[in-house]
Amino acid sequence: SAPGFSTAVVVGTGYGAAVTALRLGEAGIPTVMLEMGKLWSDPGPDGKVFCDMLKPDRRAMWFKNRTQAPLASFLWLDLANRDIKRYPGVLDRVNYGDMSVYVGRGVGGGSLVNGAMAVTPKRSYFEEILPAVDADEMYGTYFPRANRALGVNDIDPHWFETCRSYRYARVSRKAAARAGLKTVFVPSVYDFGYMKREEAGTVPRSALASEVIYGNNHGKRSLDKSYLAAALGTGKVTIKTQHQVRGITRQADGTYVLSVHETSEDGVVVARKQLGAKYLFLGAGSLGSTELLVRARETGTLPELNDEVGRGWGTNGNVMLGRANHAWDLGGSLQSGMPALGIDAWDDPVNPVFAEVAPVPAGIETWLSLYLAITKNPERGHFTYDAASDSARLHWRASQGKPSIDAAKALFDKVNRANRTVYRSDLFGDTRSFEDRFTYHPLGGLVLGKATDSYGRVKGYRNLYVTDGSLIPGSTGVNPFVTITALAERNVERVLREDLPR
Ligand code: FDA
């Protein structure tokens, strides 16, 4: 067989990829993971692996000249962003015209940069979005399995009431309660025991030191500490970093050949490689996996891929907004970067919203309550192939964000009325109060049951699988990584049983 042949190759190292690699490794199957980002293990000159949000440096972002933080401004001033050197940093913002998508880059994918909120979706909504998936199995077996393996934990409610770090969340809870709205604690993969010790001053601070979207140096159980560590522990899994998969072809014998660019820290291609695989699992995330298959279909290397490849993409209804607090409602200068509370208005029959109470880890009092609202936006985007740049292009029009804004506005108008407060209009670069031009939660592109069968097997091709967020049809009603993880657990179990040799 070709040089660099492996029984199984997994593209990416995010949630879907990590689950798949662990279960393949446990089954004794030699597996290579290919990740375009870095392994985040070596400290920089400051002794830290990751930089924080207050003083971002080249480690912050994936080949940018300036950071691109979600809060573009404060009092209309661009205070959050810094010029940085181009480098394979941990957070990417992929800009497609009217929509920008934040994704993690590195071993662990989105788990390196996300807010650690580990939320199991409401069963009734899960059944609505993925009706072909047996919900009894999901809620009886795979969601519990995912929660255990991810290391999900709950906040100590007594500590929450008295700590400094969540004063901002208590202020938002009070405002929600005045409007008759229900708040819920959000489970997390950030170790709340560690966070308590951070506040007590007995361990180095991370969540309490403005470390969130550019990585956490302590406390977070990112995938490199959970699934990927276990996968490597099987002795069957290896990870190649700074390896970007560019193309997929299939040989006459049914095996796949990947063309891969190995890149340096300057972004230069230092080697072009061909890697063969009998079983190929795509876990490059909604953008990454969809691009690989859209490119393969349109360049004719996998011509049997169907028209559903590239369709059914959504933002999980993301919209960000801020409210101005009264002078006496202090959020505090010390704010845990890991959210622990959400306003749960998903049962609202007209405007379902699940709004996470987001931190503003600025290190000063900002009199700001920030929220990331997840809404039920029915709009979907799609991807086409752009030959000139050899990349997939997302088609999403600005007007498609309107249902998200309408739902969030209906909810927060109520909160503002009950509290006699107003929206902040200084946060998003201009005077808008609702930011719907980016998403943290890209979902879809290779939807389960459409581009694939009901277990992620790509239609038209044997031994080719999708394992990540691209399977989910654009929305899951809560923060998505638990759903992605549990679905990957379900799918890989079936594939191991039916498709791979014992
Ligand atoms: P994921 O995107 O995690 O991983 C894909 C990996 O593949 C990446 O490492 C990428 O570099 C790599 N890759 C892509 N293309 C490749 C190629 N061609 N070759 C090789 N490698 C390639 N969710 C949640 O549930 N709770 C939360 O609190 C948050 N908060 C949050 C904050 C921020 C700032 C972000 C950006 C995101 C979140 N999320 C979140 C979302 C969550 O992180 C996201 O849904 C998952 O990481 C998606 O998991 P996937 O397995 O789909 O891919």
Beta-carbon contacts of residue 444 (< 8 Å; ≥ 6 apart): 286, 290, 311, 312, 313, 314, 380, 469, 470, 471, 472, 473, 474
* Residue 271: how many other CB atoms lie within 10 Å: 11
What per-residue confidence (pLDDT) applies to 2? Answer: 47
Question: What is the rounded average pLDDT of the residues 186-198?
Answer: 98
pLDDT above 80 for 204: yes
Pocket test for ligand 1, best of 38, 107, 114, 216 (most atoms within 8 A of CB): 114
Percent of the chain with pLDDT over 70: 99
Instruction: Say if CB 285 and CB 469 are below 8 A apart.
Output: yes
- Among 155, 479, 485, 489, the mutation site with the greatest number of ligand 1 atoms within 8 A of its Cβ is 479
Is residue 143 scored above 70 in pLDDT? Answer: yes
Give the pair of three-digit tokens for residue 364. 């000063």
Identify the residue whose C-alpha is closest to ligand 1 atom 26: 117
The complex scores an ipTM of 0.99
What's the whole-number mean pLDDT along residues 82-97?
97
Going from the Cα of 326 to the center of ligand 1, the distance in angstroms, rounded, reads 36
Please state, in angstroms and rounded to a whole number, the distance separating the CA atoms of residues 490 and 502: 18
| 454 CA → ligand 1 middle, Å | 22
Residue 134, burial from CB neighbour count under 10 angstroms (0-12, 13-18, 19+): middle
Mean pLDDT value across residues 112-116: 98
Q: How far is the CA of 308 from the centre of ligand 1 (A)?
A: 22
Q: List all residues whose CB is within 6 A of at least one atom of ligand 1.
A: 11-17, 34-37, 102-106, 109-110, 113-117, 213, 244-245, 283-286, 288, 292, 440-441, 468-469, 479-481, 484
pLDDT tens digits, residue range 301-348?
999 999 999 999 999 999 999 999 999 999 999 999 999 999 999 999
- Mean model confidence pLDDT for the chain: 97
Q: Tell me the C-alpha to C-alpha distance, in Å, between residue 313 and each of 103, 342, 439, 486.
A: 15, 25, 12, 20
pLDDT at res. 3: 60
Helix (H) or strand (E) holding 13: none
Contact 287, 445 (CB under 8 A): yes
Amino acid in position 472 = I
Please give the average per-residue pLDDT across 460-483, as a whole number: 98
Residue 392 pLDDT greater than 70, yes or no: yes
C-alpha 249 – ligand 1 centre gap (Å): 25
pTM confidence score: 0.98
pLDDT computed for residue 75 by the predictor: 81
Over residues 216-221, mean pLDDT: 98
pLDDT in tens, 229-265: 999 999 999 999 999 999 999 999 999 999 999 999 9
Could you give the C-alpha distances from 4 to 276, 352, 423, in angstroms and in order? 6, 50, 56
Residue 1 confidence (pLDDT) above 60 = no
Which residues are identified as catalytic? 356, 441
Residues with Cβ < 8 Å from 288, sequence gap 6 or more?
11, 12, 36, 103, 282, 468
291 has a pLDDT exceeding 70: yes
Query: What's the rounded mean pLDDT across residues 416-445?
Result: 97
- Report the pLDDT averaged over residues 402-423: 98
